[in-house]
Chains A and B, each alone.
Chain A
Amino acid sequence: MTPCENLLSVESLYKAFLGKKKGLSRARTPAIKAVNGVDLEVKRRETHALVGESGSGKTTLGKTAIRIYAPTGGTIVFDGRDITQLAGRGLKAFRREAQMMFQDPTSSLNPRKSVSATITLPLRIYGNISSRQRKVRVEELLATVGLPRPFQYRYPHSLSGGQKQRVGLARALATRPSLIVLDEPTSALDVSVQAKILSLLANLQQEHDLTYLYITHDLAIVRNIATTTSVMYLGRVVEQAETENLFSNPRHPYTKALLSAIPIISEEENRHKPAEVTLEGDIPSPSNMPVYCGFFSRCQEKMAECQQVDPALVQVENDHWVRCLRFAHRREEERMLYPFTTKGQRS
């Protein structure tokens, strides 16, 4: 796999948020390791889904990968360039190539700015283009996302949720990025609006050669739009595979639980779900993670050894990786079959 095939790749990425200082002493409340050692590759023009529940770190990963946050460890390579330590002008120049679309339609738009002002902002920062050209581009972008021209004068409070998300998308497209990180773009929308936004995203991906990093908790959407899926739990990837494989052959107990919990509408869908698994307990807090397997407390398939070892991500099939002790045992047998074992050791 040549590096240029990946638009974005991160290796051993860490992002921790420092705890608050306690009064005047130097002590702090424990840090939150939102992203706790993630390896990820996003190929050009694919849709890579990041799946997880709250506390999984998926949003932080998305934001760190495109340098909205600065990583606390690891490397990020974008289009062949190392962007981990970028700052100042270099960082600003990079920003136009990777943009983000946010989850909450209401808070992601400045209520005091018109649609046109919101979309123009990136144009003004990056382009040395006249205001007339900016207006043309704004109208072009509005058309791309399916909004009529007069909408440029409107303010967010007079827009519906779906319309606001379209404006957010138009703004993300303004600098002609090659990668868009989408943070649950439809979870705040009604189902009938969601379907239209999803098809808009699919069309745009074709037309503009876009690569998507799609963050969501909705596995039904993932099944329909993602090429590759990474399942996250407590800041780490616990399973990663081509979407087809993940759904037809989930390995990690958490993935199985997640799949089993999807509310389905028809009997046929039931056949695509694994056997019933109900997890007990709550998601542990990222500020208090165990040193052994993070999923141990809720796992239905745990073994005695799981409490002693922190499993590494292991390849079980071509392009299918799992972080679970049950599969680490197989490493010995499979060493013969697959030349790659843990990530980071590739040629």
Chain B
Amino acid sequence: MNTTSGQSTQYKSGFQRAIYRFSRSPLSIIGLVIILVISVVAIFAPFIAPYPKDAISAVHFGNSFQPPSLAHLFGTDEVGRDVLSRVIFGSRLSLKVGLVVVAISVLVGVPLGLVAAYVGGAWEVVIMRMTDVFLSIPPLVLALAVAAVFKPNLTNSMLAISFTWWPWYVRLAYGEALSIKEEDFVEVCESVGASKSHIMFKEILPNMASTLLVKVTLDIGYAILMGASLGFLGVGAQPPTPAWGTMVSLGRVHLSRAWWLATFPGLAIFLTVLGSNLFGDGLRDLLDVEMER
């Protein structure tokens, strides 16, 4: 209920309510913490890693295959590099993959979906059918093809993943825009003479922002997983780059006698995806309730 006077209400603002509700869910908090930790680690990697040079190309043959110890918390790998430092630096690569893939997908996919839903007509047909085509391309196969034609490296694998990722955003934006455009306020804007692009980007888009945000949060985790998978298959980052997927692949061979080579990078992948999932779920539960208000 509201007063007609100008005083601000004594209610908690939407943001405060959101924080309060979010804090009620321990899993979401865990997700958020994990994501924050990994982000911090990635940003401050050179200062956190005990042996920063190991992450790049130092070799210490004498020290190879050391099990986890106080000096090397995650042990050393087959050329004596500190696994912990490499995992820490690997977080940078993973985050890069996650963010770049999602960013490209959003920037390409969302406008296309908006145009298809709002402008309709031929645009809709062309965009949606094109999307269908791209959706049918299996990401791994494409990445392998790209690796075969161009050099296999991190950048190319990121581009390959983005290539198959953006259609999902077209679909999401399309679905949301279709229902939002039926709201009266869109008709109001049309009757006032607003341009189509204004309506799409300044009126409809803000109303799907929360759904997009949830998807983005979840997708960062999945993109990282995809990047790691490609690295595992050998078509992503190449050794000696400390990408997690690559490390797991190389460490797999030695699993029986040096389990720490593959396990810790694997755990890192697991934790990151878990964190992104928990946080994304928490966000979605939060926003669902917000919608109901």
Q: A residues within 8 Å of B by Cβ? A: 63, 66, 68, 91-92, 95-96, 99-100, 102-104, 107-113, 118, 121-122, 125-126, 147-151, 157-160, 163, 168, 171, 175
Which residue of B184, B193, B293 contacts A108 across the interface (Cβ within 8 Å)?
Answer: B184
Chain A residues with CB under 8 A of B189: 121
The prevalent SS among residues of B at the interface is helix
In the complex, per-residue mask of B49-77: 1 if CB is within 8 Å of any chain A CB, else 0: 00000000000000000000000000000
What would be 6 A-B contacts, judged by CB atoms less than 8 Å apart? Answer: A99-B192, A102-B184, A110-B206, A122-B193, A148-B6, A149-B6
CA distance A92 to B191 in the complex (A): 9
The answer to whether B191 touches A99, judged by C-beta atoms less than 8 angstroms apart, is yes
Q: Are B184 and A96 in contact (CB under 8 A)?
A: no
Contact B6 A110 (CB under 8 A): no
- A125–B191 CB distance below 8 A: no
Residues of B contacting A168 with CB < 8 Å?
Answer: 188
Given contacts A110-B207, A163-B4, contact A122 B192 (CB under 8 A): yes
Given contacts A107-B183, A112-B206, contact A68 B2 (CB under 8 A): no
Q: Is the CB of B185 within 8 A of A126?
A: no
- Find chain B residues with CB under 8 A from A102 CB: 184, 187-188
The minimal Cβ–Cβ distance linking B232 to chain A, given in whole angstroms, is 42
B293 lies within 8 A of A68 (CB): no
B194 located at the interface, meaning its Cβ lies under 8 Å from any Cβ of chain A in the complex: yes
**Minimum distance in angstroms from A89 CB to a CB of chain B:** 10
Chain A CB count within 10 A is highest, among B7, B9, B185, B207, for B185
B39-54 at interface with A (beta carbon < 8 Å):
none
Contact with A along B1-32 (1 / 0, CB 8 A): 11011110100001000000000000000000
Complex partner residue of A159 from B2, B188, B193, B293, CB under 8 angstroms: B2
Task: Give 5 closest A-B pairs by Cβ, nearest first.
Answer: A150-B6, A112-B206, A108-B184, A107-B184, A95-B193
> Measured between C-beta atoms, what is the minimum distance from A139 to chain B in Å?
12
Contact A126 B207 (CB under 8 A): no
Question: Looking at the complex, which one of B1, B7, B203 makes contact with A160 (CB distance below 8 Å)?
Answer: B1
Q: Which residues in window 190-240 of B have CB below 8 A to A?
A: 190-194, 203, 206-207, 209
Residues in chain A near residue B6, CB distance under 8 A: 148-151
Determine the chain B residues whose CB is within 8 A of the CB of A171 once the complex forms.
188, 192
Q: Closest B residue to A148 by CB, please name it.
A: B6
**How far, in Å, is B182 (CB) from chain A's closest CB?**
9
Q: B192 near A68 (CB under 8 angstroms)?
A: no
Interface residues on B, range: 20 to 34
User: A68–B183 Cα gap in the complex (Å)?
Assistant: 15
A108 engages B185 (CB within 8 Å): yes
Cα distance A112–B14 when bound, in Å? Answer: 12
- Minimum CB–CB distance for B63 against chain A, Å: 57
Q: Indicate whether A68 sits within 8 Å of B184 (C-beta atoms), given known contacts A112-B206, A149-B6, A158-B2.
A: no
Question: Which residue from A125, A148, A149, A163 sits with its C-beta under 8 Å from B193?
Answer: A125
Q: List 14 extra interface pairs beyond A122-B193, A151-B6, CB under 8 A.
A: A68-B191, A99-B192, A100-B191, A102-B187, A108-B185, A109-B185, A111-B207, A113-B203, A157-B293, A158-B2, A160-B2, A171-B188, A171-B192, A175-B192
Contacts of A63 on B, CB cut-off 8 Å? 191
Taking a contact as CB atoms under 8 Å apart, the answer to whether B207 and A163 are in contact is no
Check A158 against B9 for contact (C-beta < 8 Å).
yes
- State A66–B187 Cα separation when bound (angstroms): 13
Please state if B193 and A110 are interface contacts (CB–CB under 8 Å): no
Cβ contacts under 8 Å, B183 to chain A: 107
Please, which residues of chain B bring their CB within 8 A of the CB of A95? Answer: 191-193
- A179 to chain B minimum Cβ distance, whole angstroms, is 12
| B14 nearest in chain A by CB position | A157
* B186: nearest chain-A partner, CB-CB: A110
Which A residues are CB-close (under 8 A) to B7?
150
Chain A residues lying within 8 Å of B188, measured Cβ to Cβ, are 100, 102, 108, 168, 171
A325 to chain B, nearest CB (A): 38
Chain A's closest residue to B205 (CB) is A112
Least CB separation from A152: chain B residue: B6
Interface residues of B in 235-293 (CB under 8 A from A): 293
Taking CB atoms, residues of chain A closer than 8 Å to B14 are 157
* Closest partner residue, chain A, to B182 (CB atom): A107
Are A66's CB and B206's CB within 8 A? no
Closest Cβ of chain B: how far from A170's Cβ, in Å?
12
- Find B187's partner among A68, A121, A157 (CB 8 Å cutoff): A68
Which residues from B are CB-within-8-Å of A103? 184
List B residues 75-99 near A (Cβ within 8 Å): none
Q: Which residues of B contact A113 (CB under 8 A)?
A: 203, 206
Residue among A66, A109, A121 with max Cβ neighbours from chain B (10 Å): A121
Cross-interface CB contact of B5 among A100, A108, A121, A148, cutoff 8 Å: A148
Q: How far is the CA of A163 from the CA of B6 in the complex (A)?
A: 13
Q: How far is the CA of A95 from the CA of B185 in the complex (A)?
A: 16
CA distance A339 to B31 in the complex (A): 82
B6 to chain A: closest residue by CB? A150
Chain A residue numbers with a CB within 8 Å of B2 are 158-160, 163
